[in-house]
Structure 1
Amino acid sequence: MKCSALQAVVLSLGLAAASSVSGQTQSAGQPIGDRTPSAQPDANKTAHDDSFVIGNDDVLAISVWKEPELTKSIPVRSDGKISLPLVGEMMAAGQTPLQLEREITEKLKNFITSPEVTVIVEKVYSRKYNILGEVTKPGSYLLTADTTIMDAIAAAGGFRDFAKKTGVYVLRKSTDGHETNLKFNYKEFLKGKNSAQNVKLQPNDTIIVP
């Protein structure tokens, strides 16, 4: 009986350790081609977040209570639309999950009594940034929360040998189409000077490394 109890304790500790290791997630940026679950923001944070705007290629989990045929994961197409039974085609891009939820609810009232709809952004593929020029792996990357210029450079494998580290800059377009340049001097940053220049990236920012 004593051996059996000891084995049970060892097995319990082993399962707890395995659970702890499996619960760890990657914090580094992921290239667009590597759409792993670890690259996605927490879906619960984007369920009814009025600051998050749905974009093309995002995957939405749409649930209608007691209506299993209307409960599914739907990707947002390149034209910004989704297609749902009874509702048909509707524009999803440009709306928050809560706005889309309300619109689907209104349309379903023609077919269902008091529909209860939930819209969650299951996977985020629309938020991305570009890094071009003298880095090891230039290209487009998924934008996770709080990604800075330094994070982006690290995700791209760092500078190449002849990169002009004092002349890095970010091209950013405002909603009215106006373009601004945000300068980043890597050498100054390493010396602890002007740390504020290491700004957080926004969707569609492009980092240029000359």
Structure 2
Amino acid sequence: MNSLKLFILCCLVILFALNSQGASAELTVNDEYRLGSEDIIEISVWGDEELAREVVVRPDGGVSFPLAGDVKAGGLTVNELRDKLKERISEFIPDAPVTVILRKVEHPKVYVVGKVNKPSVLVMGQDMTVVQALAMSGGLSPFAESGSIIIVRRSKDGSQKVFPFDYDELADGENLKQNIILKPGDTVIVP
């Protein structure tokens, strides 16, 4: 890797690190974030220690909580889940003050495999491009075929679409449109 490419990669890593420092704080106040599988949330009912616990959103999108039973959380915002739990619990405890806090974001994920310095499963706290995913995976290894990277995306119908990515072109300031925003479940493969 020549020094210009290394310099560009270092700049991108620094920019991404600076940009992502505020991402976790942003998620806790962003009413648009939709809960997903493996996210960790804390649910509590004020004044009742028995009704306070951390729960993990199951792969089917559900959570279980005393007095509320199984509740669909996947796809809901924190506020929508709180309202749903409050409605269910109010049958047993009228006007119960229910709190739902997002403790840890564990979805959506993208995967970076192959000849990178740190193959990774990355949690997308915000939009992420191919270059950002590569930077978060420690960059390309010296043996990577930087002009032959591919992104594999699975469609809802099970078919797969492949997007070519030529890191060398991007580092030279060419074909910038190939630095697409990744979607949940995408796999970046570096041969």
CA distance in 1, matches of 2:79, 2:52: 16
Give the direction of change, closer, same or farther, for the CA distance of 1:156–1:48 in structure 2 (3 Å limit).
closer
| Secondary structure class of the residue paired with 1:49 | coil
1:45 aligns with 2:27: yes
CA distance in 2, matches of 1:96, 1:175: 23
| Secondary structure class of the residue paired with 1:86 | coil
1:144 aligns with 2:125: yes
Give the direction of change, closer, same or farther, for the CA distance of 1:54–1:134 in structure 2 (3 Å limit).
same
Counterparts of residues 86-165 of structure 1 (less than 5 Å): 86-165=67-146
Q: For structure 1, list consecutive stretches of 5 or more residues without a partner in the other structure.
A: 1-25, 29-37
Cα deviation for residue 48 of structure 1 reads: 5.8
Query: Conserved in 1, the CA contact under 8 Å of 2:150 and 2:163?
Result: yes
After superposing the two structures, state which structure 1 stretch, 136-145 or 66-75, moved more. Answer: 66-75
Query: Conserved in 2, the CA contact under 8 Å of 1:39 and 1:142?
Result: no
After superposing the two structures, state which structure 1 stretch, 129-138 or 194-203, moved more. Answer: 194-203
Give the direction of change, closer, same or farther, for the CA distance of 1:110–1:47 in structure 2 (3 Å limit).
farther
After superposing the two structures, state which structure 1 stretch, 128-137 or 60-69, moved more. Answer: 60-69
Amino acid at match of 1:27: A
After superposing the two structures, state which structure 1 stretch, 97-106 or 183-192, moved more. Answer: 97-106
| Secondary structure class of the residue paired with 1:201 | coil
Identity %: 36
CA distance in 1, matches of 2:22, 2:156: 26
Q: Cα deviation per residue 1:104-124 (whole Å; 9 max; x = unaligned)? A: 122112112123333232210
Cα deviation for residue 156 of structure 1 reads: 1.8
TM value normalised by structure 2:
0.76
Cα deviation for residue 75 of structure 1 reads: 2.1
Q: For structure 2, list consecutive stretches of 5 or more residues without a partner in the other structure.
A: 1-15
Query: Conserved in 2, the CA contact under 8 Å of 1:134 and 1:162?
Result: yes
Structure with max Cα Rg: 1
Cα deviation for residue 47 of structure 1 reads: 5.3
Query: Conserved in 2, the CA contact under 8 Å of 1:167 and 1:183?
Result: yes
Amino acid at match of 1:41: S
Alignment match, 1:60: 41
- Of Structure 1 and Structure 2, the greater strand share is in 2
